[in-house]
């Protein structure tokens, strides 16, 4: 039995994350119409995913994957934009937790709208961020030789709408 490679492990993590992430829009919309008990259960489940699964994944990616990529790119390419997105995700998870803790156990329209805002922002960020990490994983799988490192760097310049 062979040990799974880093890209394979990370890809499997992404698949598991996306099972939850892909449900975020429907869960966020359901908050507008769900009964209070169901809404609170959904919120608790989402929080458990964010803090128990997503944040540890991000920390592992920063610890294991990003340094490997930076070593491969030999300083031609920085993972700093991806780390900044992690910071933004942590902020949003923190915002979500603060909203959940505020007036815990109650459901109000204002809080529902605020929770939806955080959830949709998280969804938009995570979908592209995970897609971009997948692109990096393909590079790790293939390996990067010196002569194509510059081309890879140019191709993966952190893509931002409007840039």
By CB under 8 A, name the binding residues for other proteins. Answer: 25, 28-29, 32, 109, 113, 116-117, 120-121, 123-125, 127-128, 131-132, 135, 155-157, 159-163
Burial state string for 124-159 with b = 16 or more CB within 10 A and e = fewer than 16: ebbeebbebbeebbebbeeebeeeebeebbeebeee
For residue 138, which of 14, 2, 42, 1 has the smallest C-alpha distance?
A: 14
Shortest CB 132 distance to other proteins, Å? 6
**Cβ-based neighbours of 69, under 8 Å, separated by 6 or more:** 77, 79, 136, 139, 140
Shortest CB 64 distance to other proteins, Å? 22
Shortest CB 122 distance to other proteins, Å? 9
When the beta carbons of 62 and 132 are compared against other proteins, the nearer one is 132
Q: CA–CA separation, 48 vs 20, rounded Å?
A: 11
Shortest CB 47 distance to other proteins, Å? 19
When the beta carbons of 1 and 26 are compared against other proteins, the nearer one is 26
When the beta carbons of 59 and 157 are compared against other proteins, the nearer one is 157
């Amino acid at each position: 039995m062979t040990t799974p490679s880093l890209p394979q492990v990370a890809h499997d993590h992404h698949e598991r994350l996306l099972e939850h992430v892909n449900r975020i829009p429907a869960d966020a919309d359901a908050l507008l119409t769900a009964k209070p008990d169901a809404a609170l259960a959904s919120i608790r489940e989402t929080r458990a995913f964010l803090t128990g699964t997503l944040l540890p994944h991000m920390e592992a990616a920063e610890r294991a994957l990003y340094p490997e990529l930076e070593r491969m790119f030999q300083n031609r390419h920085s993972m700093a934009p991806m780390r900044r997105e992690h910071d933004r995700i942590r902020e949003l998870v923190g915002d979500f937790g603060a909203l959940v803790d505020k007036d815990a156990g109650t459901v109000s329209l204002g809080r529902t709208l605020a929770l939806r805002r955080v959830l949709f922002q998280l969804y938009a960020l995570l979908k592209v961020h995970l897609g971009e990490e997948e692109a990096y994983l393909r590079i790790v799988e293939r390996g990067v030789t010196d002569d194509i490192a510059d081309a890879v760097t140019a191709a993966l310049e952190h893509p931002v709408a409007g840039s």
